[in-house]
Amino acid sequence: MNTSDMPTFENDYDVIIFEALDRAGKTTTKKCFEKLTLYKYITIDRMYLTAICYEKIKKRDNNIDKYIRDFKMFCNILKVLVVYIKIDNGDLIKERIIRENEKVLKTEEVDDLINIFNNTIEELKKEINFDLCVLDGDNCRDLNDFNNLALQILKRIEEKGM
C-alpha cells in the first residue's frame, strides 16, 4: 500500500498514558482502547505517575522531583491525556495479586499504594497541564467490563472535541 493511499486524520491528543497500580486492568483497558480506535492514538502503558507512586512506596532511591519536572516538560511539549483507572477496593487487587502470582506489588502495600496514587494524581493535576480521565476500575471483572472502560475513554475524547 502506498502511503498516499492511507487515510489521514488529526488526533485530539499526541499521547494517551494509561496509569494505575498493578493488577488494576490498565494494560487490558489500553489494548481494548487500541482495538476500538484501530490504533489511532499513541498510547503508553504506565509512565511518570506510576514511577512516582511506586518510588514513594518502594523507596528505590529514584529522584521524584526529576520525574515531576520531566512529566511537566513532557506535558508542555505534547497534548497529553492521562487515563487513570481508579481502584478503591483494595481487596480486588489483593485477590488478583495472589491469583496471578504478582511479584512486584505485595498485598500489604495495596491500601497504601491506592492512597498514594489518589493523592499524587491530585497533586500533579494542580501543578501540570494535562487532561485527566478517571475511570472506576472496581467493577471490572471480565473483558466486556474493560471494553466498556475503553468506550468511556472514547466518549470522553469525543466530548472534549466538541
pLDDT tens digits along 35-56: 999 999 999 999 999 999 999 9
Domains of the chain plus CATH, in order, are 12-161 (3.40.50.300)
pTM of whole model > 0.85?
yes
Closest CA to 131 of 16, 2, 9, 4: 16
Alpha carbons 158 and 148: distance in angstroms, whole number: 15
Q: How confident is the model at residue 3 (pLDDT cuts 50, 70, 90)?
A: very low
Q: Which helix (H) or strand (E) holds 90?
A: helix 90-99
63 — phi, psi (to 5°)? -90, 100
pLDDT over 80 (residue 9): no
Q: What local confidence, expressed as pLDDT, does residue 10 receive?
A: 53
| 101 φψ region: left (φ > 0), alpha (ψ -120 to 50), beta (else) | left
Sheet of 131-136, strand order? 43-45, 15-19, 80-86, 131-136
Q: How confident is the model at residue 159 (pLDDT cuts 50, 70, 90)?
A: confident
- Identity at 116, one-letter amino acid code: I
Q: pLDDT tens digits, residue range 56-93?
A: 999 989 999 999 999 999 999 999 999 999 999 999 99
Alpha carbons 104 and 62: distance in angstroms, whole number: 16
